[in-house]
Amino acid sequence: MNIKGKILVLSVALIYGLSVAAQKVNEKFIFTPQWTAHAQFAGYYVAQEKGFYKQAGLDVEIVHPSVSQTAMNRLKNRESQATTLQLCQALEIVDNDIPLVNILQTSMNNATVIVSRRDKDPLKQVGARVGMWQAGFSQVAMCMSHKEHLNYQWVRFTSNMDLFLKGAIDGTLAMSYNEYYQLLQMGFTFTENNVYRFSDHGYNIQEDGVYMRRDYYETHKTQARKFAQASRKGWEWAASHPEEAVDIVMKYVRANHIATNRTLQKLMLKEVLRLQIDKKSNKREFRLRPDMVKFASQLMKENHMLKKDVTYQQLIAD
Amino acid sequence: MKNPITYIRQSLSRRLSLIVVLIATIIFVAALGFLFVESRKAVRQEAMDRATAVLDNTVLRVNSLLDRVVIATDNFEWLPVRHLNTPDSIFTYTRRIIECNPDLNGCSISFEPDFFKEKGRYFSAYSYNNLEEGIIETEQEGNAQYEYFYMDWYQLAKLLDYPVWTEPFADYNPEAVYTQEIIASYCKPLKDPDGKYMGTISSDISLEWLSKMVSSVKPYPNSYSIMIGQSGTFFVHPDSTKLLNETIFTPTLEHPDTALTALGHAMQHGETGMRQLVFEGHESYVFYKPLGSTGWSVAIVCPESDIFGGYNRLYNIVIAIVVIGLIVMLFVFGRIIHRELQPLHTLAQQAETIASGEFHQEIHIDKRIDEIGKLNQSFSNMQHSLVEYIKELKQTTAMKASIESELKVASDIQMGMIPRVFPPFPDRQDIDLYASMTPAKEVGGDLYDYFVQDERLYFCVGDVSGKGIPASMFMAITCNLFRMIAQQNRAPWEIATQMNTFLTRDNEQSMFVTMFIGMIDLRKGILEFCNCGHNAPIFDGKFLEINDTNQPLGLWDCKAFKGQVIEDIRDKKLLIYTDGLNEAENMQKERLGDERLIELMADTAHLDSEQIINKFKDAVSLHRAGAEPNDDLTLLCLSLKTL
């Protein structure tokens, strides 16, 4: 090959290399929150709408899950690059040999509560029928039921409180930022007795965080870092501009035909932001806590939800 | 700026018109208040009747449909149970139910997971009306993405173990196309012949027509109907953005509202009733009633402004008319009363003019025959009388002035008749004599006199009956008689006898005079005296003892008056006085009294006659304390000093 030929080959290689690089830069970053559109994911909507992702050079698309394509499934099938997951869900996935990386931890407190239909302490209702989400999110509650020998009969429900309301079940799991307010909105009366907050009874295990498959992370560290930073910026903006943040949330709510209203979303955002503040430091830390990971892993393993321990190191970025 | 109260008080017309209007206002307020309260009750009752009728009608129509759904489902329930050995036939039944019941949107007969071993985990026969294509579709709807046995409609029947209506919900579409059509399902547990739960039969109806039906029924222009599920969620509401998104309690999350919460709970509990509250920003009456056994509730919201619109308009107009009427009444009454009382005003001005001295001010004679006319006439008469009276008064005053002038002269003459120069005998050191006469009127009837002749001091003090001019003239005669007769060196009783003779003669008026006549031999100090009905003088600090009291002079004839003699009066004080002294009266008609005279006379040894008399006059003046003198006052004090 003469020099001209070499130059030609090099030029072709360079053009090809640049085009691949350019392709990588413009690669769509699909993010999937683990539930339908509401203020639980306000920070990501804000980051998208306020252009924080774009400023970070990311082309982010927010794709909500459907019945057939849950957030976990989308992550497993590499249809989404990042998704929010509860810590316990993430532990389950890692335990099933799909290594994940937590690139941003938003929740610092557990939001799960048990609500009893009558004015009766949920801890005193052994064998009661208790509703849980069909989609999951109930690991901590199930562990607690075993540990406290409550032997709840778990009844899976889809997305609303009708079973609870009509008396088909004695109690239900609820998120303090979502179903709790839904029940209030249904005229349900909360008393001192009928609510059990896991966070107040030694089960304060972090929930929502943003996760990636580790293999994807290894090749897209910069994108992961940028996405985490922009998302964090989105949450911080939402905390300082709650009214505007709710407006943005409502835009997504309407686009996704979610049956809710502004008042509920406002209360949800307030509670979600409260849960992001660490009880010890009283700050919005955005970090996974090793002690909570260890406790969650231990609890789930004891209850045979995990085959082996999943460590903090397995979840965090390097 | 005038004080309003002063402004009102200054005018009778203002005051009267204000009182009339105030009374009218009280009557209006009482009458209209009663009328309005009763009218409001009637309007409210009428609204309740209207709304209740509409509500009953709505509930009847909805219940009729719901009953049809229940009956249709119940009628087919036995079929799948009987044909469990041929599960595919169940698709025919669901299809048949839809064919036979045009009210139904869909029907499913769903079984527990793995119920039919050969059919796998899922078996749910579902038929529905495909409205777009106008055909009935039948399919097996259970799969990994749609695990029907976790759905509420399935689990409610299973867990509750009795037929139940689900909460209205948005139609689920596996393709995630949101139709926003609101449907509800009647679900009933299916049981095998042993009573064991097998699955759920569920019939769906669209609730869309409900909105259309109830929105067309309006008892009032702005009233509207709402329907809520057991969760309080709206599934009928004029604001479509609230459908399935909000509950009746949503506003209370941020702004607690006990009235709204109570209404929501009452509707959730299947109560029937009416509540008045602020609903969605408007004061409203909400009439509510449950829908059969669904747990749902329907309500008609009637804004208060609609119910009481006509009433409020009437109320405002009537109040405006009354207020304007009262203001006009105040003004008109004020003008009328002012016009009616105008003569009084004129009269008041004329009275003021007359009061200022212009008695000939012309008074307009009103022809009115009412009280004001009479007053006017009376005032005119009074003016004439007043003019006459003033005229007479002027004459009388002139006459009185003339008489007073004459009386002054008479007084001067009378006073000139008695000696008034003191000391009376400047060249005699042995006689200390002082006298005083003060008439109660211009002229009086008292008298005194004294003179020295041939070393004898003659003196007298008298008091003529009556007062004024007749008494003064009688006094003048008496004075002259005394001097004339005494100068003949006679004894006092002789002087009295002779004076009596003169005075009784031609005394047709029967006037008389009490008199004390004395004569002192200046050389020997012997006092001879004759007391003619006069007060006993004070001698040497005591009342002089009168052994023979004679009659007053001038009453009737008397041949001989009797007298007394005191051998030596030297250095002893003799005070002779008229009854103007001891009978001097104060305002309370209390007399000075004889005892007081003795008290005053005591301790006067160091005083001369003038000082004693002044002391007595001061005492009288003090006793009277401003009271007019009731009688003439005459005092004569003397003492014969041993030289």
DSSP class per residue in B281-339:
TEEEEEEEEEETTTTEEEEEEEEHHHHTHHHHHHHHHHHHHHHHHHHHHHHHHHHHHHH
SS3 annotation, B38-103: HHHHHHHHHHHHHHHHHHHHHHHHHHHHHHHHHHHHHHHCHHHHHCCCCCCHHHHHHHHHHHHCCC
Contacts of A168 in chain B (CB under 8 A): 155-156, 159-160
- In B, what residues contact A, Cβ < 8 A? 144-147, 150-152, 155-156, 159-160, 164, 166-167, 169-170, 174, 176, 178, 180, 230-233, 242, 244-251, 253-254, 261, 264-265, 268, 295
Question: Over the stretch A156-192, which tens digit does the pLDDT of each residue have?
Answer: 988 678 899 999 999 999 999 999 999 999 999 888 8
Mean pLDDT in residue range B195-215 = 87
Same domain for A157 and A284: no
Q: Map out the domains of chain B as residue ranges.
A: 77-206, 210-307, 343-399, 418-640
Radius of gyration of chain B (CA): 65
Q: What pLDDT sits at residue A26?
A: 56
Same domain for A122 and A239: no
What are phi and psi for residue B514, nearest 5 degrees? Answer: -85, 145
Same domain for A139 and A170: yes
- Do residue B249 and residue A66 have CB atoms under 8 angstroms apart? no
Same domain for A213 and A96: yes
User: Does residue A6 form part of some domain?
Assistant: no
Question: Over the stretch B75-87, which tens digit does the pLDDT of each residue have?
Answer: 888 888 888 888 8
Same domain for A305 and A228: yes
Residue ranges making up the domain that contains A102? 22-108+206-315
Which residue do the tokens 């009893």 mark?
Answer: A116
Band the pLDDT of B179: cuts 50, 70, 90: low
Q: Tokens in use for A189? A: 């009366």
CA distance A162 to chain B (A): 7
Q: What is the CATH number of domain B343-399?
A: 1.10.287.130
Question: Over the stretch B309-334, which tens digit does the pLDDT of each residue have?
Answer: 888 898 999 999 999 999 998 888 88
**Whole-angstrom Cα distance, residue B52 to residue B59?**
10
Task: Enter the DSSP assignment of A228.
Answer: H
Task: Enter the DSSP assignment of B627.
Answer: P
- Do residue A66 and residue B159 have CB atoms under 8 angstroms apart? no
- Do residue A156 and residue B150 have CB atoms under 8 angstroms apart? yes
Q: How many domains does chain A have?
A: 2
Q: What is the enclosing helix (H) or strand (E) of B354? A: helix B342-355
Q: What pLDDT sits at residue B382?
A: 85
Question: Over the stretch B574-601, which tens digit does the pLDDT of each residue have?
Answer: 999 999 999 999 999 999 999 999 999 8
Q: Residue A254: closest CA among chain B residues belongs to which residue? A: B241
Q: Residue A259: closest CA among chain B residues belongs to which residue? A: B245
- Tell which wins on pLDDT, B411 or A274: A274
User: Does residue A99 form part of some domain?
Assistant: yes
Four-way CATH pick for B418-640: 1.20.1250.20, 3.30.70.100, 3.60.40.10, 3.40.50.300: 3.60.40.10
- CB within 8 Å of A214: residues ≥ 6 apart: A99, A100, A101
pLDDT for A24 beyond 50: no
What size, in residues, is chain A?
318
Distances (CA, A) of A228 to A21, B33, B521: 22, 72, 158
Domains B77-206 and B210-307 share a fold: yes
Same domain for A121 and A100: no
Asked if A64 has any chain B CB less than 8 Å from its own CB, the reply is no
pTM of the model: 0.68
Among candidates A66, A187, A261 on the partner chain, residue whose Cβ is nearest the Cβ of B261: A187
pLDDT for A301 beyond 70: yes
**Whole-angstrom Cα distance, residue A180 to residue A188?**
9
User: Does residue A12 form part of some domain?
Assistant: no
CA distance A39 to chain B (A): 15
Q: What pLDDT sits at residue B172?
A: 57
- CB within 8 Å of B528: residues ≥ 6 apart: B491, B492, B493, B518, B519, B520, B521, B563, B564, B565
Q: What pLDDT sits at residue B429?
A: 87
Asked if A280 has any chain B CB less than 8 Å from its own CB, the reply is no
Residue pair A172/A131 in contact by the 8 Å Cβ criterion: yes
- Tell which wins on pLDDT, B131 or B324: B324
User: Does residue A193 form part of some domain?
Assistant: yes
Q: What pLDDT sits at residue A168?
A: 92
Q: Residue A181: closest CA among chain B residues belongs to which residue? A: B253
Q: Residue B255: closest CA among chain A residues belongs to which residue? A: A263
Q: In the listed set A154, A173, A200, which residue is the last one of a domain according to the structure? A: A200
Q: What is the enclosing helix (H) or strand (E) of A174? A: strand A171-175
- Do residue B152 and residue A160 have CB atoms under 8 angstroms apart? yes
Contacts of A261 in chain B (CB under 8 A): 242, 245-246, 250
Question: Over the stretch A69-113, which tens digit does the pLDDT of each residue have?
Answer: 888 889 889 999 999 999 999 999 999 999 999 999 999 999 999
Please state, as a whole number, how many other Cβ atoms lie within 10 Å of the Cβ of residue B128: 20
CA distance B211 to chain A (A): 18
Q: How many CB pairs under 8 A join A and B?
A: 90
Asked if A117 has any chain B CB less than 8 Å from its own CB, the reply is no
Asked if A164 has any chain B CB less than 8 Å from its own CB, the reply is no
Band the pLDDT of B471: cuts 50, 70, 90: confident
Band the pLDDT of A6: cuts 50, 70, 90: low
Among candidates A162, A169, A259 on the partner chain, residue whose Cβ is nearest the Cβ of B244: A259
**Whole-angstrom Cα distance, residue B433 to residue B573?**
10
- Do residue B155 and residue A185 have CB atoms under 8 angstroms apart? no
Q: What pLDDT sits at residue B130?
A: 82
Contacts of A180 in chain B (CB under 8 A): none
Q: Residue A66: closest CA among chain B residues belongs to which residue? A: B176
Asked if A281 has any chain B CB less than 8 Å from its own CB, the reply is no
Same domain for A103 and A58: yes
Q: What pLDDT sits at residue B406?
A: 83
Classify residue A180 as exposed, middle or buried by CB count within 10 Å of its CB (0-12, 13-18, 19+): buried
Q: What pLDDT sits at residue A18?
A: 43
Same domain for A176 and A194: yes
User: Does residue A138 form part of some domain?
Assistant: yes
Q: Which of B567, B550, B564 is nearest to B512 (CA)?
A: B550
Asked if A260 has any chain B CB less than 8 Å from its own CB, the reply is yes
Q: Residue B262: closest CA among chain A residues belongs to which residue? A: A187
Same domain for A152 and A93: no
CA distance B86 to chain A (A): 30
Q: Residue B253: closest CA among chain A residues belongs to which residue? A: A185
pLDDT for A299 beyond 70: yes
**Whole-angstrom Cα distance, residue A17 to residue A1?**
21
Same domain for A252 and A211: yes
Distances (CA, A) of A16 to A1, A3, A9, A10: 20, 20, 11, 10
Question: Over the stretch B357-381, which tens digit does the pLDDT of each residue have?
Answer: 787 777 777 777 888 888 888 888 8
CATH number of the domain where residue A95 is located: 3.40.190.10
Which residue, among A178, A186, A246, A260, would best test binding to B if mutated, counting the most B CBs under 10 Å from its CB? Answer: A186
Contacts of B159 in chain A (CB under 8 A): 129, 155, 163, 168-169
Q: Tokens in use for A288? A: 């996974």
User: Does residue A95 form part of some domain?
Assistant: yes
Asked if A157 has any chain B CB less than 8 Å from its own CB, the reply is yes
Q: Which fold has domain B77-206?
A: Beta-Lactamase (3.30.450)
Same domain for A285 and A219: yes
Is ipTM > 0.85 here?
yes
Portion of chain B with pLDDT greater than 90, in percent: 43
Q: What pLDDT sits at residue B174?
A: 47
Average pLDDT in chain B: 88
Q: Tokens in use for B128? A: 């529905």
Contacts of A264 in chain B (CB under 8 A): 250, 253
Distances (CA, A) of A125 to A118, A120, A128, A169, A199: 10, 8, 6, 12, 20
Q: What pLDDT sits at residue B1?
A: 56
DSSP helix, strand, coil percent of chain A (3-state; round to 5): 45, 15, 35
Mean pLDDT in residue range B614-633 = 90
Please state, as a whole number, how many other Cβ atoms lie within 10 Å of the Cβ of residue A40: 27
Which residue, among B153, B250, B268, B269, would best test binding to A if mutated, counting the most A CBs under 10 Å from its CB? Answer: B250
pLDDT for A212 beyond 80: yes
Band the pLDDT of B470: cuts 50, 70, 90: confident
Asked if A167 has any chain B CB less than 8 Å from its own CB, the reply is yes
Q: In the listed set A160, A180, A200, which residue is the last one of a domain according to the structure? A: A200
What are phi and psi for residue B397, nearest 5 degrees? Answer: -65, -40
CA distance A68 to chain B (A): 5
CA distance B174 to chain A (A): 9
Same domain for A260 and A159: no
Four-way CATH pick for B210-307: 3.30.450.20, 3.40.50.720, 3.40.50.300, 3.40.630.10: 3.30.450.20
Q: In the listed set A200, A230, A248, which residue is the last one of a domain according to the structure? A: A200
- Tell which wins on pLDDT, A4 or B45: B45
pLDDT for B177 beyond 60: no
- Do residue A168 and residue B160 have CB atoms under 8 angstroms apart? yes
Band the pLDDT of A14: cuts 50, 70, 90: very low
CA distance A209 to chain B (A): 26
Residue pair B519/B528 in contact by the 8 Å Cβ criterion: yes
pLDDT for A8 beyond 80: no
Mean pLDDT in residue range B515-526 = 92
Please state whether beta strands B564-566 and B573-577 pair in parallel, antiparallel, or not at all (unpaired): unpaired
Contacts of B179 in chain A (CB under 8 A): none
Q: What pLDDT sits at residue A5?
A: 53
Asked if A162 has any chain B CB less than 8 Å from its own CB, the reply is yes
Q: Residue A187: closest CA among chain B residues belongs to which residue? A: B249
